[in-house]
Amino acid sequence: MTKKRRKGIKELLVFSSASFLNDVGSDMLRPFWPIFVTSILNAPMSFLGLLDGLGEAIAYAVRFPGGYLSDKLKRRKPFIWLGYLFAAFARIGYAISRFAGLLLPFKILDRLGKIRDPPRDALLSEIVDKRKRGRGFGFLTAADNLGATLGPLIAFLIFPFLGFRRLFLVAAIPSFISAFLIFSLIREKRQTKKVGFKFRFKELDRCLKLLILSSAIFALGWFSLSFFVVFVTQKVKIGFVPLLFITMSGFASLAAYPAGRISDRIGRKAVLLTGYLLFSLVCFLFIHAKLNLFSAFVLFALYGVHYGIITTLQSPFVADLSKKTLRASAIGIFQTVFGLCSLPASLIAGFLWDAFSARVAFYYGMFVSLLGAILFFVLVRSKNFK
């Protein structure tokens, strides 16, 4: 094994460990966040909706600026460890908040931490052998989803002894460790030669633009997991919902590495298309399947497989189609567009649910995501690597 390959494996393990720990911390809070906001701080549901909606919008909106600045400054590492640090300090802020209004600046700080994603993905695409790029991203995504699986389990075990505020403080510790791992163990070459940088959308590869377009249309039908949860609770006891979340995250983790490995062999397109089509299939099955506890677990497992595939392969596909000097910007603009398009998907699905029925909302998700998948199949050419 060459020195360069050993270095790449070591840095992949560092990135994956940091992602795993950060997700353990963030998902420790997920089951308790709505209760903390509405019951402990006595905020109305509208304020909870504002916090979560604004948080998601910021998390998506900052990714392109994060990628752009990373390319412009020719630095990746500071954005990554600072992103984890923002998340850690935000959780401390949540813990010390005595009234609901104080949560807002800490929520903004928390979601600003997502500036780390495009620089991290760009750096990972550079340090991993390009012939094994899919495997590298698959390993990272598997670690990420494993953290999302274990976080709620840990929280349920320790919450009776800690309560809300101390749980939030404990949840900050993994993200502090993540920031330390990146800061101390990742080595980034500093470029002494100054080269002017200017990002122009027209400079992106034509195939990459078509990938962004078709994936944005898919995202317009990719409404949130909450709709599936609410639909399932019509037939399944609410007490099983945490187990459904764990099932989803577990299968996402299991699917991630094989998806990346297969994409290295046959190309990203076929595997990512499978992920897009699986979402359409899940929507169809939610409409027509006979819902019971067993079928709910099967459907959430399928949802997890689709989620593991698309979250693994989108960034390496963008990396394949982008120049090294524009890679973080390209990943950032893809993630920003995809994420912001998924927000109206949930709004539209919610309106259709209220105005007509849940079935209409799921038909909307199925047809729009299927349209995006068809456009992706027709317009985007496949490349194993670049």
Q: Are residues 248 and 354 in the same domain?
A: yes
CA-to-CA distance for 276 and 270, rounded, in angstroms? 10
Residue 386 confidence (pLDDT)? 40
Residue 346 confidence (pLDDT)? 85
Its pTM stands at 0.85
Residue 243 confidence (pLDDT)? 84
Asked if 366 contacts 218 with a C-beta cutoff of 8 angstroms, the reply is: no
Q: Is 334 part of a structural domain of the chain?
A: yes
Asked if 18 contacts 178 with a C-beta cutoff of 8 angstroms, the reply is: yes
pLDDT along the chain (386 residues), means of 10: 71 94 92 84 82 86 91 90 96 93 93 93 85 89 91 88 93 96 86 61 84 94 84 81 85 93 91 96 92 91 95 91 87 91 87 88 95 94 53
Structure tokens at 356: 């007509």
Measured distance between the N- and C-terminal CA atoms of the chain, rounded to whole angstroms:
23
Q: Are residues 253 and 344 in the same domain?
A: yes
CA-to-CA distance for 268 and 338, rounded, in angstroms? 17
- The CATH number that applies at residue 299 is 1.20.1250.20
Q: Is 29 part of a structural domain of the chain?
A: yes
Q: Are residues 124 and 167 in the same domain?
A: yes
Residue 262 confidence (pLDDT)? 94
What's 99's DSSP letter? Answer: S
Which residue in 254, 267, 348 sits closest to 313, CA to CA? Answer: 267
Residue 384 confidence (pLDDT)? 46
Residue 377: Cβ-neighbour burial (10 angstroms; 0-12, 13-18, 19+)? middle
Residue 2 confidence (pLDDT)? 66
Domain boundary among the residues 184, 214, 231 is at: 184
Q: Are residues 221 and 356 in the same domain?
A: yes
Residue 383 confidence (pLDDT)? 55
CA-to-CA distance for 301 and 244, rounded, in angstroms? 8
Domain with 19, as residue range(s), is 3-184
Residue 198 confidence (pLDDT)? 67
Structure tokens at 73: 């400054």
Q: Is 233 part of a structural domain of the chain?
A: yes
Residue 143's contacts (CB-CB under 8 Å, 6 or more residues apart) are 16, 17, 19, 20, 253
Residue 238: Cβ-neighbour burial (10 angstroms; 0-12, 13-18, 19+)? exposed
